[in-house]
Structure 1
């Protein structure tokens, strides 16, 4: 344990020292190569000062650009290339892997599951986040409630899955049930169930975990947006005789509609990449497979780089339009301010 702590501290110190040396050294070299003196003409001095001002920002950006290229841009092109090759990435097979994907029953089941996740999780998380944000502002202990609801955001997906595994836990006939859900069921005199093995409904139970996590995120963002609504608008509506329900649907939601859409699309992107929860809870068994988990199975368990890369490319293509639309909408909103 101590060795790990010491190793982590040394890594941080070496990293910080490396950054200092890099930024100091590159700026020193830049100033040295583009130095000016009194013997130079005004035009030369101006040109060198201009070059320094143009090059210096790129010195700061260079490390980030290198890491971005190595860990993001290159993998994208390499993944796309591997999707056109066989399992070992040696023989070119064209679009055979893509044809396989749309004919494979497991892949189609994964697509169906992802669609169900997309329909339920973003909508439910955004709805619950909005409702809680509105109600919490009316309570004296609203900040405490918000803190408790936001707390799952601090838990990893795997950690959340372990917690919910105890809630859904099922023991065989004659054994004592320790799962919270089965304790409630048996308390009503009903037989316990192996919840995560029930087709279709088990996917719903897995979605509850992500909704539990993402509701806190939606609540915080939407709560901030609600605070931005002018109080004069709400007071005018109350004077005109509008009730709370009419104010909520007629004034609050239209005022923060842009934020609601951003929250919804952000959660949608998370859902498209969902992997940890399915892996930790069911490992894709009992018809709960999703695309990211299927990609992991083919790439790292089946050692089929072609098919694994194909599924990765399909996920990327599904996420990209949503990201582009989200960025354009954010830019458009910035332009109107």
Structure 2
């Protein structure tokens, strides 16, 4: 099987990529890229000279690529697109009383367990990753006792207690690997995309509290991971309600309830079975230093604006986070 199909070899593939993807207007930098291609030892002018470029372009033009699907939804990037369904209650005076399903497509999200796997197996990201927390103290000259220094999550009382609780808990049967708390720190806020118009995104980000805040705040370190892009109920949801209430809009109370339920349903997708298993039983990962460790995911902080905090304080999400014996700090 030719891995470069429909191109005959690597040189032809690189040349085709240069022609189509390096811009319509060629620059000095583009010229240097061309020199690198034809100057490579594997480049064969004879093969390129006898390549049927029109036939290759025709094959590429008839492929099954869906141009409407974002390229970051590729499987190896870990992104998924899910549908979100909520139950909308209609009282006995509605046209058709009872609970009705309402579904919204296009919830883009990434696996939280995949994010931690990528973080601890990447040599650049795992540098200065604190697998074990510690207490930082300062001894001033004018005092006869130490003063606790507050500043990093991995030196905080909450992290130290979570770590000690994990070490004191029974190990998984047949497992004696080092156990590590992976401290998740979430941020989210709706973002306006343009000065004019209503286009906006509602991204969710995650950092690991095992890394220093001085490193997390530097964009060049690439320590922030996108987790999801929250959806909101579309404008046509109002028409859905009006239709079921005999042409009369039921009011904002029901809409507020549905918005809250919709937000929680998206979080239920994020806190999937893999996440719950990693929280309760840990996930074994071979770190870039060659050591097997068992990571336990815990949510320590969630920074959000007031509407989100109000939604998070409602019981459904807490029930999902604390199902059975789960209890995640920060909520």
Q: Shorter-chain TM-score: which interval?
A: under 0.3
Structure with the bigger percentage of strand: 2
The structure showing larger relative contact order (alpha-carbon pairs under 8 Å, at least 6 residues apart) is 1
Structure with the bigger percentage of helix: 1
